[in-house]
Amino acid sequence: MEKEGLDAVINLIARRGIVAPSAQIYGEIGGFYDYGPIGLKIKKRIEAEWRRVFVEKMGNLEVETSIVSPRQVFEASGHLKTFSDPLTVCPKCGYSHRTDKVLEEYYSKKNDKVSLEKVKHSTIEELRSMLKSADVHCERCGAKLEGVEVFNLMLATKIGPLAGIEGYLRPETAQGIFLDFKNLYRIYGLKLPVGIAQSGKAFRNEISPRNFLIRMREFSQMELEYFFDPEESILEINGLPISDAVFEESIAFVSASGSEAKSIKLSALLKNGDIPNKLFAYLLYTEKKFLLGLGFEENTFRFRQISKEELPHYSKGNVDLEIKIGEKYEEASGLAYRTDYDLRNHELLSKEELHVVSGNKKLLPHVVELSIGLDRLFLALVSNSLYSDERGWEVLKLNEKTSPYDFAVFPLQKDDKLVEKAIHVRDMLLERGKSVFYSTSGSIGKRYARSDEIGVNKAITIDYTTLEDDTVTIRDMLTTKQERARISDIA
């Protein structure tokens, strides 16, 4: 089998209605997408595996908090002051461009690695100067671009019948967790360290959303905030100390001063000060295992240390997960050491004490955050799983954790007796908690091809022998081998 390129992936996604632009009949608004039935099932399967690994297995809590919060929340978090991107508006047609991105594209084409790296650390004034001297033109009308403004990415809304309360759609799911932390700690009798997770929608008013699911205005996050005492030397997860064997795991790591990934043990990264603490290392370890469990090959992802100049306003250390999508590595998640930044600022602005008692002392816990972009992870998984087999068929090689359906069920022909038996098998599997793709449309070969290209691992065919002895043909998608099995033995 040969891996397909990104163009084939996008074609499959469009052709099978896996993901599509929102509000297409009205001409679309950039950065908003709808998931069709197949796409949603894959997305939910990824989310379910995240929940199993980072919530249930680690003994953490999961919450669902409000999407809209009042202005004060984002004043305390720093988003209203610092959550912004550089904006350049075309002087001729008025099209908006994100300045750093158009400059990065410009210097990439010129193979000017020095200037390309400089863009990532430049101030607004420096970007303004670079844009003025560069020969960068509007992608819409071709006019030369000049001038840079600061654009805040928050999406505002008015709350109440007289719009008396100013609110914002959350740019991340984290703040709701920080607001609820002390109540959860008290009500559930929690002890540090403890993780609180949330999966849900977030919103960023991107200047120029592009690259399909890479840069969106509405997207899904899976976040875990791990609260701990920074002075505690023994780190326990789910009541048990972390094994030293965890820190002997190696990851593909790109240092802030480097450009190539090197295989480095977590213990070495801790010793060198490249990562801040053992909890941080443990989450890197778990993140790697999570990706391998989803079906990613180890050579398709790496971890990149963020330089001090690039760090978010709340962070004292960041490592991003980058996954290869097409020919480029794209950021899919971020691991950040937020210290006590959020709890401290919410305590100051709200005047509510957020300290908790841990052991014999009162403290504001520190936080390590793992934030995963679900849409980007979905795209990365699909793009790394699409192959062309020896027949020329497109095959989406998803494992049992991420396949949209556990089984495909097909009657061999549109014979009433075969259809009745096929429906019986389908209903039996549904009662057993399995997900089933059922179809009678087209030849059996075409139905196999359709189930292969959406990643269904096993296809069950009901034929005339089934009516005689209650056995069916089970076809393996990856090997195309077929074997007979009794209906009652299917699991």
- Could you read off the pLDDT of 440-453 as tens digits, one per residue? 999 999 999 999 99
Q: Which two tokens stand for residue 486?
A: 């009794």
Q: What is the pLDDT of residues 18-27, one digit of tens each?
A: 999 999 999 8
What's the pLDDT score for residue 311? 82
* 12 vs 120 pLDDT, higher one: 12
Q: List, for residues 310-364, the tens digit of each pLDDT value.
A: 887 778 889 999 999 998 999 999 999 999 999 999 999 999 999 999 988 999 9
| pLDDT at 1 exceeding the cut of 80 | no
pLDDT at 312: 77
Q: Which amino acid is present at 264? A: I
List of E strands, 155-290? 155-159, 165-169, 194-203, 218-228, 236-237, 240-241, 250-254, 262-265
The mean of the pLDDT values for the chain is 94
Q: Is 133 helix (H, G, I), strand (E, B) or coil?
A: helix
Indicate the helix (H) or strand (E) that contains 88.
strand 84-89
Going by pLDDT thresholds of 50, 70 and 90, the confidence category of residue 190 is very high
What Å distances lie between residue 423 and 37, 436, 485, CA to CA? 20, 11, 17
Report pLDDT digits (tens) over 458-470: 999 999 999 999 9
**Averaged pLDDT for residues 87-96:** 94
Identify the band that residue 241 occupies on the pLDDT scale cut at 50, 70 and 90: confident
- pLDDT tens digit sequence for 41-68: 999 999 999 999 999 999 999 999 999 9
Strand ranges for 238-358 from DSSP E: 240-241, 250-254, 262-265, 301-305, 318-325, 328-339, 356-358
Pick one of 3.40.50.800, 3.90.1150.10, 3.10.150.10, 3.40.1380.10 as the CATH number of 405-489. Answer: 3.40.50.800
pLDDT for residue 413 is more than 80: yes
- Across the range 200-207, mean pLDDT stands at 95
Task: Average the pLDDT over 81-106 and give the result.
Answer: 93
Domain residue extents for the chain? 42-75+156-247+277-386, 84-152, 405-489
Rounded distance, CA 308 to CA 255, Å? 12
Does residue 483 have a pLDDT over 90?
yes
pTM of the model as a whole: 0.92
- pLDDT of res. 19: 97
| % of the chain surpassing 70 pLDDT | 100
Are the C-beta atoms of residues 447 and 441 closer than 8 Å to each other? yes
The pLDDT, as a whole number, for residue 171 is 96
Whether pLDDT at 422 is above 80: yes
The answer to whether the 84-152 and 405-489 domains have the same CATH topology is no
Q: Residue 188: which pLDDT band, with cuts at 50, 70 and 90?
A: very high
Provide the 10 A C-beta neighbour count for residue 219: 21
- State how far the Cα of 88 lies from the Cα of 457, in Å rounded to an integer: 48
Fold (topology level) of 84-152: Herpes Virus-1 (3.30.40)
CA dihedral sign of residues 43, 45, 46, 47: positive
Q: What is the CATH number of domain 42-75+156-247+277-386?
A: 3.30.930.10
pLDDT confidence of residue 449: 93
As a three-state string, the secondary structure of 378-445 is HHHHHHCCEEECCCCCEEECCCCCCCCCCEEEEECCCCHHHHHHHHHHHHHHHHCCCCEEECCCCCHH
- Residue 390 has what pLDDT? 80
Task: Indicate whether 121 pLDDT > 90.
Answer: no
Give which of 394, 399, 435 is closest to 13, Cα–Cα. Answer: 394
Q: Is residue 257's pLDDT more than 90?
A: no
CA distance 268 to 274: 9
The whole-number average pLDDT for the span 292-312 is: 92
165-169 and 155-159 strand pairing:
antiparallel
